[in-house]
Amino acid sequence: MAQETADYIPPLTALTEDEQIFRSSVREFAERRIGPLVRQMDEQAHIPRELVAELFELGVMGIEIPESHGGAGGRFFHSVLAVEELSRVDPSIGVLVDVQNTLVVNALLRWGTEELQGRYLPKLAADTVGAYALSEAGSGSDAFALGTRARNEGDTFVVSGRKLWITNGNEADVFIVFATLDPSAGYRGITAFLVERGFDGFTVGKKEDKLGIRASSTCELLLDECRVPAANLLGEAGKGYKVAIETLNEGRIGIGAQMIGLARGALEAAIKYVKERKQFGKPIGEFQAVQHQIARAAVELEAATLTVYNAARLRDARKPFLTEAAICKIFSSEVAERVASLAVNLLGGNGFVKEYPVEKFFRDAKIGQIYEGTSNLQLQTIAKQIM
Calculate the alpha carbon distances from 4 to 1, 54, 199, 259 in Å: 10, 21, 43, 20
pLDDT tens digits for range 22-79? 999 999 999 999 999 999 999 999 999 999 999 999 999 999 999 999 999 999 999 9
For the chain, percent of residues with pLDDT exceeding 70: 97
Residue 70 corresponds to which amino acid? G
Instruction: Work out the mean pLDDT of the chain and round it to a whole number.
Output: 95
In this prediction, residue 9 carries a pLDDT of 67
Q: Domains plus CATH for the chain? A: 17-129 (1.10.540.10), 131-239 (2.40.110.10), 242-386 (1.20.140.10)
In this prediction, residue 139 carries a pLDDT of 85
Give 280's pLDDT tier (boundaries 50, 70, 90): very high
| Distance, CA of 159 to chain centre | 26
- Residues near 124 by beta carbon (within 8 Å), at least 6 away in sequence: 61, 62, 65, 71, 100, 104, 105, 108, 130, 174
Reduce the DSSP state of residue 149 to 3 states and report it: strand
d(CA 351, CA 363): 12
Our answer to whether residue 372 is catalytic in this structure is yes
Q: Please say whether the beta carbons of 256 and 311 come within 8 A.
A: yes
Which of 370, 369, 380 has the alpha carbon at shortest distance from 334? 369
Give 10's pLDDT tier (boundaries 50, 70, 90): low
d(CA 58, CA 276): 34
Give 1's pLDDT tier (boundaries 50, 70, 90): very low
d(CA 106, CA 65): 9
pLDDT tens digits for range 192-216? 999 999 999 999 999 999 999 999 9
- This prediction has a pTM of 0.95
**Strands (DSSP E) found in the chain:** 129-133, 149-152, 156-167, 172-180, 190-196, 202-207, 218-229, 233-234, 278-279, 282-283
pLDDT tens digits for range 321-336? 999 999 999 999 999 9
d(CA 156, CA 151): 9
Phi-psi region of 59 (alpha: psi -120 to 50; beta: other; left: phi over 0): left
d(CA 89, CA 265): 6
In this prediction, residue 215 carries a pLDDT of 98
In this prediction, residue 144 carries a pLDDT of 78
